[in-house]
Structure 1
Amino acid sequence: MLLDEPLVNLDYKLREELREELTQLFAAGQSTVIYATTEPGEALLLGGYTAVLDAGELLQYGPTAEVFHRPKSIRVARAFSDPPMNLLAARAVPGGAQLQGGPVLPMVLPAAAGAALTLGIRAGALRVEARAGDIALPGTVELAEISGSDTFVHVHTLVGELVVQLTGVHDLAIGTAVTLQVSPAQVYAFDADGALLHAPHRLGGAR
């Protein structure tokens, strides 16, 4: 069966209910189902295997969780992130990666010192409360959007424009000073050609 964005024209509540029902139906049935969607959340919820297509090209195929946690390229990371993954220019230095105009993030990279990098940070990996080992990224709010039970905050920082996904409703006025926090352990690294160099550790799995 081929389902081509079957939930796209439904309201939010009905769409959420049918996603759960479809997951149960797929698990109980014996049919092969190809489910086409532009929403990463649907692919993650439905599980199985995911093929990431862009401009008619197959970029990656494999178990859904593996493709999400280890996108083989920037193109896959962009397609399989909602909101899109934050991408920041950096360069390899001894012991890690230095953001352009910003701090060094400690990580082990298979790259020569001075090599150009792109660091990727998912919106959900950024926080406003500090934890041990975090890297601080000061900035100012450019926009705050409330979507369901989350707030998407667009922040201008010295290292680039960032989008952070905060749980709950947050009233942040434009121009408000904020300091975003990120753990280096949750940062991706891509080489100059956009290929994955480093992915965050997963509990119970390899890096």
Structure 2
Amino acid sequence: AGDSTVIYATTEPGEALLLGGYTAVMDGGELLQYGPTAEVFHSPQSLRVARAFSDPPMNLMPALPAAQGLTLTGGPALTLKLPDAPADRLVSFTAGVRGSALRVTAREGDVALPGKVELAEISGSDTFVHVATAVGELVAQLTGVHYFDLGAPITLYLDPAQVYVFDANGALLMAPRRFYGTH
């Protein structure tokens, strides 16, 4: 029993995180990433892994390079220190943000993403708010039960430090720094 290897297949990222250990992310029979579960979750090496290993799915937004980081297509600039990389990797980006990193109250340094409520779903003790914004539809995962009127104006707030950046080929360029303790 102590020397046993158990393979557990799931399509639920939450289950994999609860089990811990090591995770292999596969798609169409192809191994996309393997490693300690928390590492795979916090540093998905590609857009394919980010899409597969995030519930709700990671919010993905096209972006272009800007003087201080990147600009979301149709939206605001995000001040980020992008890593050094070959020029062909810095032509265009996909910015990703987990639903749990979006808020409805601003904090210092946040970027505002105004929009309209398209749908609000209560699931257990969380509320998932689907919002149409200038950068596309975003889904915010809010702790607690919240009520929103369909079509109502809403502003989501994003801390640029919580943004994932993928290059034009879908490879991870930058992941948010990890927080320990409270944040």
Question: TM tier, shorter chain?
Answer: over 0.9
CA distance in 2, matches of 1:135, 1:30: 49
**SS in structure 2 at match of 1:178:** strand
Q: TM (normalized to structure 1)?
A: 0.82
Partner of 1:80: 53
CA drift of 1:101 comes to: 1.2
Given the alignment of the two structures, is residue 156 of structure 1 paired with residue 138 of structure 2, yes or no? no
Given the alignment of the two structures, is residue 128 of structure 1 paired with residue 101 of structure 2, yes or no? no
CA drift of 1:129 comes to: 0.5
1:54 to 19, 24, 27: 27
CA deviation digits over 1:46-93, x for unaligned, max 9?
A: 000000000110000000000000000000000000010000010111
CA radius of gyration, larger in: 1
Partner of 1:90: 63
**SS in structure 2 at match of 1:43:** helix
Q: TM (normalized to structure 2)?
A: 0.93
CA drift of 1:31 comes to: 1.5
CA drift of 1:137 comes to: 0.3
Root-mean-square deviation (Å): 1.5
Given the alignment of the two structures, is residue 147 of structure 1 paired with residue 123 of structure 2, yes or no? yes
CA deviation digits over 1:13-68, x for unaligned, max 9?
A: xxxxxxxxxxxxxxx84321111000000000100000000011000000000000
**SS in structure 2 at match of 1:88:** strand
Matched pairs, number: 177
Choose between structure 1 and 2: higher helix proportion. 1
The ranges of structure 1 where at least 4 consecutive aligned residues each deviate by more than 2 angstroms after the TM superposition are 110-114
CA distance in 1, matches of 2:143, 2:179: 22
CA distance in 2, matches of 1:198, 1:166: 25
1:165 to 135, 141, 144: 141
**SS in structure 1 at match of 2:176:** coil
Structure 1: state its 5+ residue gaps.
1-27
CA distance in 2, matches of 1:71, 1:138: 28
1:193 to 148, 158, 169: 169
1:102 to 75, 85, 88: 75
**SS in structure 1 at match of 2:41:** helix
CA deviation digits over 1:95-142, x for unaligned, max 9?
A: 101000111101111355971110001000000010000000000000
One-letter code aligned to 1:149: S
2:42 to 69, 75, 78: 69
Partner of 1:202: 178
- Relative contact order higher in (CA < 8 Å, ≥ 6 apart): 2
Partner of 1:18: none
- The share of aligned pairs that are identical, in percent, is 70
